[in-house]
Copies of this chain bind each other. A is one copy, B any other.
């Protein structure tokens, strides 16, 4: 792969946003949408929408805009959603269990097919129709089931160990909810979700509110941080 061009994280994040908006438009029976309208609904700008899309090709018709169903399918393809992904959740505590029930995952093709916990009290019980497997079975089951992505919902202390074992079992993507920095080898994708960081970002915005409002005209105070 030579002609490989780097795509920024924020572009990918916005593609995800556009995909959601296109789904909504599709459901409402809208056939065509302009970059301006997508931008309005997504809280960004028309130029940004066009630039983001232009990274992957040309999808619109000048004078007309974008065909909703077509662009939606193209974006699904670009985001890797035209095939399902096998997901496992490690840690059946509060957060892990809450994620299991998150129906939106399945809707977008993320199939949660295994849950693990280290607590013998929990092992064998069922969560959302899935039997909780023991920690010791991690490598074997991840491998046997061909899991692509693990969601790490264990305490910070155990998170790195879980990731190392998952990677050794062939997992290629990690969504980390533990409040700690994880190291993964090259070629393994890692995303972090950290609620403390978000709350502290709000706290910062609140104590520095004066600065923010002195400055802005129409933008949402404090901006919208992460993962829109």
Task: Please list the residues of chain A having a beta carbon within 8 angstroms of any beta carbon in chain B.
Answer: 1-2, 4-9, 12-13, 15-17, 19-20, 41-43, 55-56, 78-81, 85, 87, 94-95, 97-99, 101-102, 104-105, 108, 110, 148-149, 172-176, 179-228
Contacts and interface: CB of A to CB of B under 8 A. Distances in A.
A219 B194 contact: yes
A7 B174 CA distance: 30
A186 B200 contact: no
Residue of A5, A81, A225, A226 with most partner-chain B CB within 10 A: A226
B180 A218 contact: yes
Nearest to A203: B80
Given A108-B200, A212-B186, A224 B98 contact: no
A151 to B, nearest CB: 9
Given A172-B209, A187-B211, A225-B7, A102 B200 contact: no
A123 to B, nearest CB: 20
A227 B180 contact: no
B215 A16 contact: no
Nearest to A173: B202
A1 B41 contact: no
Nearest to A227: B4
A94 B198 CA distance: 19
A19 B218 CA distance: 27
A220 B197 contact: yes
Contacts of A216: 181-182, 186, 190, 192
